[in-house]
Amino acid sequence: MPRVLVTGGAGFIGSHVAEAYLEAGWEVTVLDDLSTGRRENVPRGARFVKADVGSAEARRLLASGDFDVLNHHAAQMDVRVSVSDPLFDARVNLLGLINLLEGVREGGVRRVVFASSGGVIYDENAPLPHRETGRKLPVSPYGVSKLGSEYYLAAYARLYGIEVVALRYANVYGPRQNPHGEAGVVAIFGERLRTGRPLTVFGDGSQTRDYVYVGDVARANLSATVWAVSDITEVDSFAFNVGTGVETSVNDLARKMIAVSGVEVSIEYAPARAGELKRSALDCGKALQLWGWKPEVTLEEGLGRTYEWIREAAA
Report the catalytic residues: 142
Q: Which is nearer to ligand NAD, 39 or 135 (CB)?
A: 39
CA distance 68 to 240: 21
Over its C-alpha atoms, the chain yields an Rg (Å, rounded) of 19
Burial class (CB in 10 A: 0-12, 13-18, 19+), 238: buried
C-beta closer to ligand NAD: residue 35 or 230:
35
Cα 125 from Cα 139, distance rounded (Å): 12
Q: How far is the CB of 108 from ligand NAD (least distance, A)?
A: 22
Q: According to the binding rule CB under 6 A, does residue 302 interact with ligand NAD?
A: no
Residue 155, judged by CB atoms within 10 A of its CB (0-12, 13-18, 19+), counts as middle
Binding segment for ligand NAD (CB under 6 A), chosen from 19-27, 112-120, 243-251, 265-273, is 112-120
Closest Cα to residue 229, out of 218, 244, 240?
Answer: 240
Which residues does 226 contact at the CB level (< 8 Å), separation at least 6? none
Residue with smaller CB distance to ligand NAD, 139 or 265: 139
Binding letters toward ligand NAD, positions 61-100, x by CB under 6 A: ------------xxxxx--------------x---x----
Interface mask (CB under 6 A) for ligand NAD, residues 26-65, using x and -? ------xxxxxx--------------xx------------
The residues of the shown chain that bind ligand NAD, judged by CB under 6 A, are: 7-8, 10-14, 32-37, 52-53, 73-77, 92, 96, 115, 117, 119, 169, 171-172, 178, 181-183
